[in-house]
Structure 1
């Protein structure tokens, strides 16, 4: 059975870069954000589901109209929860397809931003959390085009606090020390897995 390593971390912590380090080393990587983008694309399957919730959510090309969705959930957390609940089974099906396609792989990385928020950690053998000091995170995120302090705070409010993620993780990777240090830690994770068949870090 494939050993499922969940990867998560708050916005701006370096999750995507870390996932790419595993991918470069031949580890199959499932990207939940890509899966959602595929579902929202023309013919992806999300549009009819969302149209049933939010009239006008299905665009003429068969994709989900993100602007209609954004307006529908703005200031409406109840609708956001309904939308997420409607899409979640489709995302789970994508994840199952990925695992089936890689069932011969000893190890697979599942990059899931809302891993703890959706309870998906229960389906993992171990969880890797990427983290960085709050001031580093804030500087990274606010440097993104179109990002504002208000939007950043709104995103953080939806995510499990970094301290809680770190406490619940099997391995915490601090990305503030630069790429070479992160690469070395990924190598250490893979070396431990090859030697022991498990992934876990001694708690300080």
Structure 2
């Protein structure tokens, strides 16, 4: 008898939309969460598998045995051709971590994949569904501007790399608003989980 594998739910949203808080709410409901950003941070930390890769491409970005992400960002900004080379080298490491997560949580009902650039990297092709977090532009901007070192120009550069919020919402299977308070967002998360359990549950293993 074939076994159903976990439902793979992607979570994404533009900067300042409340994605990390929402991911924590899924975790609070017992859903295992794979955080793409956290994986990259681990790869770039001292002893991480990504340090040697970055050291070969951008030696000046290695500081105290780890990757200085500000220096790396500056290098990418100065040489646009560097980004695809970095992605080609680093993505396999990220993919290996994701595969390990899948194996470790093979018995789970639902798995959440927190991926900031989900649509931009075509991750929806291996997911069963996508939830997008959203909030009005003025709320988004106010949240982002509270972050250290953030400026109008920095925000513009970040948004230029991201698919617009409106398009994400159109492509999403689930939309979670984060501007109506934590309890409202938590209820929306519970509704998404209930809907998946009620009819959009995983796939049979091949």
**TM-score, structure 1 length as denominator?**
0.91
- Residue 35 of structure 2 aligns with which residue? 31
Cα RMSD after superposing both structures = 1.5
Select between 124-133 and 77-86 the one with higher mean Cα deviation: 77-86
Deviation of the 1:2 alpha carbon: 1.1
Query: 1: CA distance between counterparts of 2:70 and 2:182?
Result: 35
Which structure is richer in relative contact order (CA contacts within 8 A, separation 6 or more)?
2
1:9 lines up with 2:13 in the alignment = yes
Unpaired runs of at least 5, structure 2: none
Q: Secondary structure at the match of 1:4?
A: strand
Do the aligned partners of residues 82 and 166 (structure 1) sit closer, same or farther apart at CA in structure 2, a change above 3 Å counting?
same
Which of residues 113, 122, 146 is equivalent to 1:110? 113
Unpaired runs of at least 5, structure 1: 200-204
- Residue 42 of structure 1 aligns with which residue? 46
Point out 4+ residue stretches in structure 1 off by more than 4 angstroms.
none
Q: Secondary structure at the match of 1:42?
A: coil
- Residue 51 of structure 1 aligns with which residue? 55
Which of residues 140, 143, 146 is equivalent to 2:146? 143
- Residue 202 of structure 1 aligns with which residue? none
Q: Secondary structure at the match of 2:16?
A: coil
Which of residues 163, 173, 194 is equivalent to 2:176? 173
8 Å CA contact retained: 2:139, 2:179: yes
8 Å CA contact retained: 1:127, 1:169: yes
8 Å CA contact retained: 1:4, 1:125: yes
